[in-house]
Structure 1
Amino acid sequence: MFDNSNDQRGPVNRTTIMALHGGGIEGGTSELCLAIAGYHPATLAVSPAGGPVHDYWMFEGVRRSGNSDLHVTSTNNDDRAALSMAAGSLNVLSLHGCTAAQAGVPHDQPEAVVVGGLHTNFRTYLREEFQAAGFQTIDGSTVPVLAGEDPNNICNKALLGMGAQLEMTTELRQSMFDPGYFSQLERPTHTNGRFDAFVGAARKAIARLEAGTDQVVP
């Protein structure tokens, strides 16, 4: 079977959501990955119903302990499926966890998200939407270790050669789940209003990005 038509174009995936350190490695990133992609983290039902969904990729630590040993940096991730999904998408949004000290935020205001990556417009939309939703938002360019600006970072290996990365402090991630329910088994069924607000802000930013005129294969 041959496809020799010149007037047809195959669909290109717009945005892929990734959690490279999910499960017990960086708690909360798996649930956020699923929800931002448009799926309920407990049931995998499309949420909100009828809403747009995005492809997603996760690597999860499921050990009882020692999951931090499974941490592979974004620039060293060589998983073929992950690289293939990134390379087949116009945009990648990669989710990570960090400490308040790494984010450089005050001890009395430890809940923060650092927005990085090489896609300037995507970063701007994310910062604006998170700020509008009431989240302390840090420009990744002011925190070099969390900037996500290395071209070898998987978030920047999308078709456009740039993407976005979120580094969320432990306190911020914990605040998105009911108190006392932050274990890997409990998180999917104990998300709260802050979780919904964060997910909603991220999805608004993605919608703004995908509506842009630069969303074409180079």
Structure 2
Amino acid sequence: MLTALVGAAVSGSVLGGFGASPAYATGENDVYVSNTDLYTKLAGKEGTEFGRRWKRHQYADESRTGTAPFSRTTIMALHGGGIEGGTSELCLAIAGYHPATLEPVQDGRPVHDYWMFEGLRSSGNRELHVTSTNCDDRVALSLAGGSLNVLSLHGCTAAQAGAPASSPEAVVVGGGSTDFKAALHLELGNAGFTTIDGSTVKDLAGVQANNPCNRTVLGEGGQLEITAELRTAMFGVYTNAGRPGSTTEVFWRFTAAARAAVARLEAEPGQVLL
């Protein structure tokens, strides 16, 4: 939903200013009014200026006498790559895949479906930002619409999140699902991260019905707005090329907590198909 960093080549040493432009909760500063608008006007540029990656896992129930497991949760990064740096890598890892190798993470938890849109430019990726509520990518919406839950990942700055100066490495927990928010607050807090409730930060709340995180079977989901300060701490080399292979302990502690929150949510009675 929001933009925190402009350009792909922002190094971890830029801790003072972050090369950041303001985050936007509306489409008033967007160049493109929707994903369709962007895809149309940048026809032929996919793979060079922007990219899309997604995975839908195969599940089947061919038994008349029992119920097989099914995919409940999709992880999304609507502004990945150089738009909101680090969200692509977080999307993959929370879905259960190593961002550098795409091999499954061996943590005893299942993998999840995912979708991401990524800015691939060396600079000017902010122009590729499409506000979440204007996302009309058909694959993204089909994945959200076929899931009980969506966890959508975004970037902001500490100032935009209202984080205290003493703790700028924070995450705003939003979305329309009270249960998902509670699980995220609990698991991220237990992992040592400062969480801020989205209800206190209107522009980062993620409660709109047309936000993809809430366009689920249940009509609600979760959203994380992660400060630039925290995202920078997750990587040794803060560039599009460098991030996947330079993940830090902070990155893996954060993704483990997010995956634990998803597992906690999926274990609740409301997650069972009747």
TM range (shorter): over 0.9
Equivalents in 2 of 1:84, 1:217: separation in Å?
A: 19
Aligned to 1:165: 223
Q: Is 2:183 aligned against 1:183?
A: no
Q: Is 2:114 aligned against 1:56?
A: yes
Verify the 8 A CA contact 1:125 1:208 in the aligned structure 2.
yes
Can you list the C-alpha shifts for 1:72-112, whole angstroms capped at 9, x where unaligned?
11100000000000000000000000011110112332110
Aligned to 1:78: 136
Verify the 8 A CA contact 1:90 1:217 in the aligned structure 2.
no
1:194 is aligned, of 222, 226, 250, to 250
Q: CA RMSD in A?
A: 1.7
CA distance 1:87–1:121, change in 2 (3 Å): same
Equivalents in 2 of 1:174, 1:6: separation in Å?
A: 50
1:146 is aligned, of 204, 212, 230, to 204
Q: Is 2:94 aligned against 1:36?
A: yes
CA distance 1:134–1:49, change in 2 (3 Å): closer
Equivalents in 1 of 2:108, 2:207: separation in Å?
A: 34
Q: What is the TM-score when the length of structure 1 is the normalising length?
A: 0.92
2:73 is aligned, of 15, 28, 33, to 15
**Matched residue of 1:131: which SS?**
helix
Verify the 8 A CA contact 1:129 1:202 in the aligned structure 2.
yes
Q: Report the residue type matching 1:82 in the other structure.
A: A
Q: Report the residue type matching 1:30 in the other structure.
A: S
CA distance 1:83–1:10, change in 2 (3 Å): farther
**Matched residue of 2:77: which SS?**
strand
Q: Report the residue type matching 1:35 in the other structure.
A: A
Per the TM alignment, residue 196 of structure 1 is displaced from its structure 2 partner at its CA by 0.7
Q: Report the residue type matching 1:198 in the other structure.
A: F
CA distance 1:9–1:129, change in 2 (3 Å): closer
Per the TM alignment, residue 8 of structure 1 is displaced from its structure 2 partner at its CA by 7.7
Once structures 1 and 2 are overlaid, which stretch shifts more, 107-116 or 128-137? Answer: 107-116
Verify the 8 A CA contact 1:19 1:95 in the aligned structure 2.
yes
Verify the 8 A CA contact 1:129 1:204 in the aligned structure 2.
yes
Aligned to 1:91: 149
Equivalents in 2 of 1:109, 1:75: separation in Å?
A: 29
Q: What is the TM-score when the length of structure 2 is the normalising length?
A: 0.74
Please list every run of 5 or more consecutive structure 2 residues that lacks an aligned counterpart in the other structure.
1-62
Aligned to 2:265: 209
Q: Report the residue type matching 1:101 in the other structure.
A: A
Please list every run of 5 or more consecutive structure 1 residues that lacks an aligned counterpart in the other structure.
none
